Amino acid sequence: MSEQVTDATFDSMVIKSSTPVLVDFWAPWCGPCRGLAPVIDEIAQEYAGRANVYKMNVDDSPMTPGRFGIRAIPTLIVFKNGEIVEQVTGAVGKSNITAMLDKALA
């Protein structure tokens, strides 16, 4: 299962991570976000030890989404060495998400 990241923990858990990180920016009221949640949890299990997968509730932590210009959810961002390497908005398929992570791991 994916872990939660907050405004307070974002830099230490994502920006300073030595492994690639996928962050799912979501909210409980967002239907497509809820539909994507099981896929994100599957990916978290499959990539355990190779990449970190976190979820950020944009209602509880509004500073970080603003920092990265996120205007719609779900938005998925892959970070590597503290930099954005891939970003997609909308409910995308698992293969699209794993391709983003695989590219960051290459």
Active site residue 50: no
Give the strands of the sheet with 3-4, arranged side by side: 3-4, 52-57, 21-26, 75-80, 83-89
* Catalytic residue chosen out of the listed positions 14, 21, 33, 77: 33
* Catalytic residue chosen out of the listed positions 5, 13, 14, 30: 30
Active site residue 30: yes
Active site (catalytic) residues: 30, 33
